[in-house]
Amino acid sequence: MVLRLRGMQTKGSDGNMFDALSERLSGVFDRITGRGALSEKDVDAALREIRVALLEADVALPAVKDFVSKVREKAVGEAVIRSVAPGQQVIKIVHDGLVELLGGEGEPERLMLEGEPPVAILMAGLQGSGKTTTTAKIAKRIAEREKKKVLVASLDTRRPAAMEQLAQMAEKAGVPSLPIVAGQTAVEIARRAMNSARLQGFDVVILDTAGRTTLDEEMMGEAAKIASETRPREILLVADALTGQDAVETARRFNERLKLTGLVLTRMDGDGRGGAALSMRWVTGLPIKFLGTSEKIDGLDAFDAKRLAGRILGRGDIVSLVEKAAAEIDHEKAEALAKKMAKGKFDLNDLRDQLVQLQKMGGLGGIMGLLPGMNKQMKAQAAAAGFDDKALKRQEAIILSMTPQERAKPDLLKASRKKRIAAGAGVGVPEVNRLLKMHVQMADMMKRAGKGKGLPGMPGGRMPPGMAGGMGAGMGGLGGLGGGLGGAADDLLKGKSPAGLSGLPGLPGTGAPLGPDGLPPGFPKKK
């Protein structure tokens, strides 16, 4: 459950796995947030629906009972029920409860790589769980992000071509694999791998053990002998999230024999119900360290409870959105726009830069999936209204049809100029008007953010530090990405958590208010 926050897309997505649960919970929250006041009876009714939704998602019953009990204890308090926005407070309590269920508020668990090299990592799991692929993915991640010299070794002497498979995956990952020597036992291969790594100056050795189709004593005993021989710093269990509660039981059994240090859940991009992912930490007490988000060699995300909880509750994944922006952003232009915003300026040249930026970040489809409040219905409405990637290109064409003077001073655009611009861009005058209206809304947002007044829909009206550009309202909010990243982007590029964003996905009010059409401000009207 670390999520590609894609990450933190991100490169993969857990969206399919949690879609059904997210839709159910969104329905519950829509009903309670639409009321001005909540009674204890209302809260109990909502919690009953949440309980059913979690059980249908295959979350372990004891975990569900514990979760609902803790949420109810906090949600029926006088301060919540009589507050100005009780529904939003209940959502925040549910979010915090999910975070706790998934592992707590702390930073994502890092691999323990300290110690005298070579440090050993032992990979365990049943056959078919994705253990060999995950071994190569982790090796790639350590080599690239930790700048360590990594060797992988297959100890699977039973499955045909298992060693050759790891060698091929290692080549894809750009890391060396231990040469294959026929006739050795798993323990002998492990010993040779450690000696070879020591002689060649490797920092980390990842040992891929043999799996079975079912749990058996022979497999457990072999893994225990290898662990005793290599003294690994990490013993990671790779479990298939699609197997539901069977994966939870597998983790529990392995932990009894091997004393696991962490879990890796694979196939998080599948269409399972997600219960194993939600139950795993609560049942086993073990940290989830990574999520396998695709079959690609880079389809591995560090697990982050806050980000996953935000996505499940339909609150988006702002941090992943920032990560996307950080990878593509032109920092010079961003700084220039930030300075203009501080003076309350935002012209059509700036808007065009933002449109180009959005296209570089993967277009509207990918971004909408990370925005708070963008459920399936809203995405469908957006598509039906023609608000898609083609719209971005049309809007850019409209701006390019203007003179430099018109882009700098939109007030000059009277009827005759609009007709000329529309003809030049191959669109109608109404589409030019919609673009100009969107620019006015964005400019107003930018002025508010630049003056430190914050944005409607944000807690206390304030934007997180380093994100003054805003993300609050449809196109308008997206437009602020380039200019407002500042410190958040810098933090991300340095491998730090972006300042001011750690708790954002679960905060009340992060979804912008909708207009009369049911879409955020800036969307073209539905025809």
Write the pLDDT tens digit of every residue in 123-168. 999 988 999 999 999 999 999 989 999 999 999 998 889 999 999 9
Any domain includes 514: no
Any domain includes 181: yes
Looking at the structure, tell me whether residues 285 and 228 fall in a common domain: yes
Looking at the structure, tell me whether residues 153 and 207 fall in a common domain: yes
Per the structure, the count of domains in the chain is 3
Any domain includes 278: yes
Residue 221 has pLDDT above 70, yes or no: yes
Res. 278 pLDDT band, cuts 50 70 90? confident
Phi first, then psi: give them for residue 117, nearest 5 degrees: -70, 155
Q: CATH number of the domain at 78, please.
A: 1.20.120.140
Any domain includes 516: no
Write the pLDDT tens digit of every residue in 373-385. 555 555 566 555 5
Res. 232 pLDDT band, cuts 50 70 90? very high
Q: CATH number of the domain at 433, please.
A: 1.10.260.30
The pLDDT of residue 354 is: 78
Among 38, 48, 29, 33, CA closest to 76: 38
What is this structure's pTM? Answer: 0.63
Task: Give whole-number Cα distances, 347 to 160, 287, 405, in Å.
Answer: 64, 48, 11
Looking at the structure, tell me whether residues 435 and 392 fall in a common domain: yes
Q: CATH number of the domain at 175, please.
A: 3.40.50.300
Looking at the structure, tell me whether residues 86 and 126 fall in a common domain: no
Phi first, then psi: give them for residue 180, nearest 5 degrees: -80, 130
Cα dihedral across residues 227, 228, 234, 235: positive or negative: positive
The pLDDT of residue 107 is: 72
Looking at the structure, tell me whether residues 209 and 260 fall in a common domain: yes
The pLDDT of residue 196 is: 96
Residue 511 has pLDDT above 90, yes or no: no
Show the domain range for 85: 15-102
Looking at the structure, tell me whether residues 56 and 152 fall in a common domain: no
Looking at the structure, tell me whether residues 341 and 233 fall in a common domain: no
Residue 516 has pLDDT above 60, yes or no: no
Query: Are 504 and 319 in contact, with CB atoms under 8 Å apart?
Result: yes
What tokens does 405 get?
């003077």
Q: Of 330-344, 420-434, 470-484, where does the model show the most confidence?
A: 420-434
- In sequence order, the 6+-apart residues with CB closer than 8 A to the CB of 252 are 283, 284
Looking at the structure, tell me whether residues 153 and 258 fall in a common domain: yes
Looking at the structure, tell me whether residues 459 and 357 fall in a common domain: yes
What tokens does 266 get?
């694979």
Looking at the structure, tell me whether residues 48 and 158 fall in a common domain: no
Mean confidence (pLDDT) of the chain: 76
Query: Are 173 and 209 in contact, with CB atoms under 8 Å apart?
Result: no
The pLDDT of residue 244 is: 78
pLDDT (average), residues 484-503: 39
β-pairing, 204-208 vs 234-240, is unpaired
**402, β-bridge pairs:** none
Looking at the structure, tell me whether residues 339 and 233 fall in a common domain: no
Res. 308 pLDDT band, cuts 50 70 90? confident
3-state DSSP call for residue 204? strand
Query: Are 400 and 425 in contact, with CB atoms under 8 Å apart?
Result: yes
Cα dihedral across residues 307, 309, 311, 315: positive or negative: negative
Q: CA 171 to CA 177: how far, in whole Å? A: 8
Write the pLDDT tens digit of every residue in 57-91. 888 899 999 999 999 988 887 777 667 678 888 88
Looking at the structure, tell me whether residues 151 and 207 fall in a common domain: yes
- In sequence order, the 6+-apart residues with CB closer than 8 A to the CB of 422 are 398, 401, 428, 429, 431, 432
